[in-house]
Amino acid sequence: MSSYAQKRGFLATLWDYLTTVDHKKIAVLYLVAGGFFFVLGGIEAILIRVQLAVPNNDFLSADMFNQVMTMHGTTMIFFAAMPLLFALMNAVLPLQIGARDVAFPFVNALGFWMFFFGGIFLNLSWFLGGAPDAGWTSYASLSLASEGKRIDFYTLGIQISGFGTLMAGINFLVTIINMRTTGMTFMRMPMFTWTTFVASALILFAFPPLTISIFFLIFDRLFGSQFFNVEMGGNTIIWEHLFWIFGHPEVYILVLPAFGIFSEVISIFSRKRLFGYASMVFATVLIGFLGFMVWAHHMFTTGLGPIANAIFAVATMAIAVPTGIKIFNWLLTMWGGSIKLTTPMLYALGFIPSFVIGGVTGIMNAASMADYQYHDTYFVVGHFHYTILGGVVFAILAGLHLYWPKMFGTMLNETLGKITFWLFFIGFHLTFFVQHFLGLMGMPRRTYTFLEGQGLETGNMVSSIGAAFMAVGAIVLVINIIITSVKNQKVGNDPWEDGRTLEWSVSSPPPHYNFKQLPLVRGIDAYWIEKMEGRKEMTPAEPLGDIHMPNSSFIPFMISFGLFVAAFGAMYRPDYSWGLPVLVGGLVITFGSMLIRSLKDDHGHYIKKEELMDDSDKGVQA
């Protein structure tokens, strides 16, 4: 059954990726799609900064600015940051726990295609009457007033991709609980696995409220319900609550895997075991738990009353404790280590002070009385870009450089990588540091222009120059990727030479069954232990035998495509008579595909023992 690997040609490759259920190929799909949306979101960010570079600018109209600003936030959160993290999780996580794939390879593919079609649907709005314009939070009072189909692209697009995210979350949870190899106890799991585990649990419990609130908005706008219509007894504050009950855990869903990546990077390049591993695990779980207790700190000015505000303020400040534990653990991991200043390590070093600034301004925001001053100003914009860009995007870039050889078998150029880092790091601080002061001077966020003579000119100009630095940095990264892909110099199992965990014990890229024999784990940093004892490979935990692998399938694509079609039907149903048949037709495609999946037996296939003995250079050996 390994014959499918021998197919050649573009169409065969395309078909391979459309039907793949291999976590490593799905990682590539997430990376390409997430990278594409990251570029779109980045272009939107540049447009915002061009518009705000000088006072009274008319580069973008107010209406266009609203669309660009909304799409920048929505794209970056849902369609760039999350899929890029999923790319790294898919690429590395099964390898880190010594598994041959995720628990549900089919669902893994389904999750990707849901995200993909959701993102495409959302972005088609640019060509079909305008993009969403109510901000990424899409507060009901704004979004119900938005005319045309703009908000419907937002709701339906997010809904489809949200289903995919939920599936990915459940999949990673089951993978981590059930698929660990012999000896890989919970307290020996690499930090990236741990943070993915907690982030997945957050996904599981945070996405349903989003699903429901988006359903409310879909129903209100397209099917005549009255959830948010105050005249008919509705209440728009329900949207705010439900959105932030999702929205706050969401930021931890993003930043916890980022913490995991930095834990790996700092440990690898300090060539030391992670300091305070147990406290790191504890802090991760505690952040995940507290993340659900703080949503109303986004709503201090809504008028929930002083008692509610005080409770949420204190709960928010409490999160600083586990986060502080993590920061000190990273610092003490580096303490006395033999540090190698590689590109990923530079990102990690840049991350720590940047994220601390974001954390400190977070505490300032958490003080609910003071927040009345900061609310809806550029202070908040500065704050969350310090956490999300300084935390999540730095981590994605660090992880990309770190795991690029594991994903593609070739190293990114270190010199160009460091140039990217410095451009990005300097540009990031130029752009966002000054925004705190703009906010304190009273510049409101989400406003398309400002007047001259109010002291806002210099700050905004500096901010826009910084954005240009980041854009150049991103271009250097793309050049780097192209150059190294063309050169394609193959590397061995452990290209950084200091790999500590199981993913570095297999070839780069790994064979599609990952491990010929599942490895035996004898402690934290399993591969490092073997290396320190003079071995080159992991000790196998099982005799060489047939390997069971899942079959490829086109059904995930069809299930997601059905929802994509149905979304168009739902959206145009109030205006055109063809809407309803298209809605029903799309659902028929989706549920029909699900039915086929359910009725058709799929036992997967086996890679025979004899086949494995031929290519003895791959995977763990006996």
Partner 1 sequence: MQIQEKLSFETWPAAPEKETLEGQNKVLGFWLFLGGETVLFATLFATYLALKDSVPGPGHALAKDLFSMPLVFLMTMLLLTSSLTSVYAIYHMKNFNAKKMKFWFVVTVLLGLGFLACEIYEFNHYVRDFNHTFSSSAFGSAFYTLVGFHGAHVIFGLGWITGLVVRNWRRELSLYTAPKFYLASLYWHFIDVVWVFIFSVVYLMGMVG
Q: Whole-number minimum distance, CB 168 to partner 1, in Å?
A: 12
Q: Please state whether beta strands 547-549 and 605-607 pair in parallel, antiparallel, or not at all (unpaired).
A: antiparallel
Rama region for 471: left / alpha / beta (φ>0; ψ in -120 to 50; rest): alpha
- In the bound state with partner 1, the residue whose beta carbon lies nearer, of 534 and 543, is 543
Q: Whole-number minimum distance, CB 229 to partner 1, in Å?
A: 7
Q: Whole-number minimum distance, CB 603 to partner 1, in Å?
A: 6
Give the bridge partners for 444, in sequence order: 377
Q: What is the DSSP letter of 542?
A: S
Site string for partner 1, 518-557 (x = CB under 8 A): ----------------------------------------
Kindly identify the residues of this chain, within the stretch 280-319, that bind partner 1 according to CB under 8 A.
none
Query: Helices 579-599 and 555-572, interaxial angle, to 10°?
Result: 160
The span from the CA of 38 to the CA of 580, in Å, is 34
User: Per-residue DSSP letters for 151-193?
Assistant: HHHHHHHHHHHHHHHHHHHHHHHHHHHH---TT--GGGS-HHH
Cα–Cα distances in angstroms (integers) from residue 224 to residues 43, 95, 141, 151, 573, in the given order: 36, 49, 16, 15, 12
| Residue 566 structure tokens | 């149905």
Q: Whole-number minimum distance, CB 144 to partner 1, in Å?
A: 13
- List 187, 595, 613, 622, residue binding partner 1 (CB under 8 A): 595
Site string for partner 1, 72-111 (x = CB under 8 A): -------------------------------xx-------
CB within 8 Å of 370: residues ≥ 6 apart: 364
The span from the CA of 208 to the CA of 169, in Å, is 12
Site string for partner 1, 104-143 (x = CB under 8 A): x---------------------------------------
Which span (203-211, 414-422, 536-544, 612-620) binds partner 1, by CB under 8 A? 203-211
Question: Where are the alpha helices (H) located in 375-413, listed in sequence order?
Answer: 378-387, 394-408
Asked whether the CA dihedral 178, 179, 185, 187 is positive or negative, the reply is negative
- In the bound state with partner 1, the residue whose beta carbon lies nearer, of 245 and 438, is 245
Kindly identify the residues of this chain, within the stretch 415-474, that bind partner 1 according to CB under 8 A.
none
Q: Coil, helix or strand for 607? A: strand
- In the bound state with partner 1, the residue whose beta carbon lies nearer, of 137 and 229, is 229
- List 113, 216, 425, 450, residue binding partner 1 (CB under 8 A): 216
Kindly identify the residues of this chain, within the stretch 165-184, that bind partner 1 according to CB under 8 A.
166, 170-171, 173-174, 177-179
Kindly identify the residues of this chain, within the stretch 25-54, that bind partner 1 according to CB under 8 A.
none
Asked whether 593 and 557 are in contact (CB, 8 A), the reply is: no
Helices (H) and strands (E) in the chain, counts: 22, 2
Q: What angle do CA 344, 168, 607 make, to 5 degrees?
A: 90
Give the bridge partners for 605, in sequence order: 549
- In the bound state with partner 1, the residue whose beta carbon lies nearer, of 230 and 369, is 230
Q: Whole-number minimum distance, CB 51 to partner 1, in Å?
A: 37
Cα–Cα distances in angstroms (integers) from residue 35 to residues 28, 101, 178, in the given order: 10, 23, 31
Q: Whole-number minimum distance, CB 552 to partner 1, in Å?
A: 17
- In the bound state with partner 1, the residue whose beta carbon lies nearer, of 123 and 195, is 195
- In the bound state with partner 1, the residue whose beta carbon lies nearer, of 341 and 596, is 596
Q: Whole-number minimum distance, CB 102 to partner 1, in Å?
A: 9
- List 55, 183, 208, 276, residue binding partner 1 (CB under 8 A): 208
Q: What angle do CA 216, 168, 18 make, to 5 degrees?
A: 105
Query: Helices 320-334 and 343-366, interaxial angle, to 10°?
Result: 150
- List 142, 204, 293, 426, residue binding partner 1 (CB under 8 A): 204
Which span (126-134, 211-219, 379-387, 405-413) binds partner 1, by CB under 8 A? 211-219
The span from the CA of 569 to the CA of 579, in Å, is 4
Q: Whole-number minimum distance, CB 371 to partner 1, in Å?
A: 25
- List 36, 205, 289, 513, residue binding partner 1 (CB under 8 A): 205
Task: Assess 159 for contact with partner 1 (CB under 8 A).
Answer: no
- In the bound state with partner 1, the residue whose beta carbon lies nearer, of 219 and 513, is 219
Q: With contacts defined by CB under 8 A, how many residues of the chain interact with partner 1? A: 41
Q: What angle do CA 480, 35, 208 make, to 5 degrees?
A: 150
Main-chain phi, psi angles of 508, to 5 degrees: -115, 115
The helix (H) or strand (E) run that includes residue 548 is: strand 547-549
- In the bound state with partner 1, the residue whose beta carbon lies nearer, of 9 and 543, is 543
CB within 8 Å of 518: residues ≥ 6 apart: 98, 99, 100, 181, 182, 540, 541, 542, 620
Kindly identify the residues of this chain, within the stretch 224-243, that bind partner 1 according to CB under 8 A.
224-227, 229, 231-235, 238, 242
The helix (H) or strand (E) run that includes residue 544 is: none
The span from the CA of 410 to the CA of 406, in Å, is 8
- In the bound state with partner 1, the residue whose beta carbon lies nearer, of 348 and 563, is 563
- In the bound state with partner 1, the residue whose beta carbon lies nearer, of 234 and 260, is 234
- In the bound state with partner 1, the residue whose beta carbon lies nearer, of 235 and 449, is 235
- List 35, 190, 209, 399, residue binding partner 1 (CB under 8 A): 209
User: Which of 101, 31, 160 is closest to 552 using CA atoms?
Assistant: 101
Q: Whole-number minimum distance, CB 503 to partner 1, in Å?
A: 21
- In the bound state with partner 1, the residue whose beta carbon lies nearer, of 101 and 498, is 101
- List 8, 305, 603, 614, residue binding partner 1 (CB under 8 A): 603
- In the bound state with partner 1, the residue whose beta carbon lies nearer, of 57 and 226, is 226
CB within 8 Å of 534: residues ≥ 6 apart: none
Give contact residues for partner 1 (rule: CB under 8 A): 103-104, 166, 170-171, 173-174, 177-179, 204-205, 207-209, 211-213, 215-216, 219-220, 223-227, 229, 231-235, 238, 242, 245, 595, 598-599, 601, 603
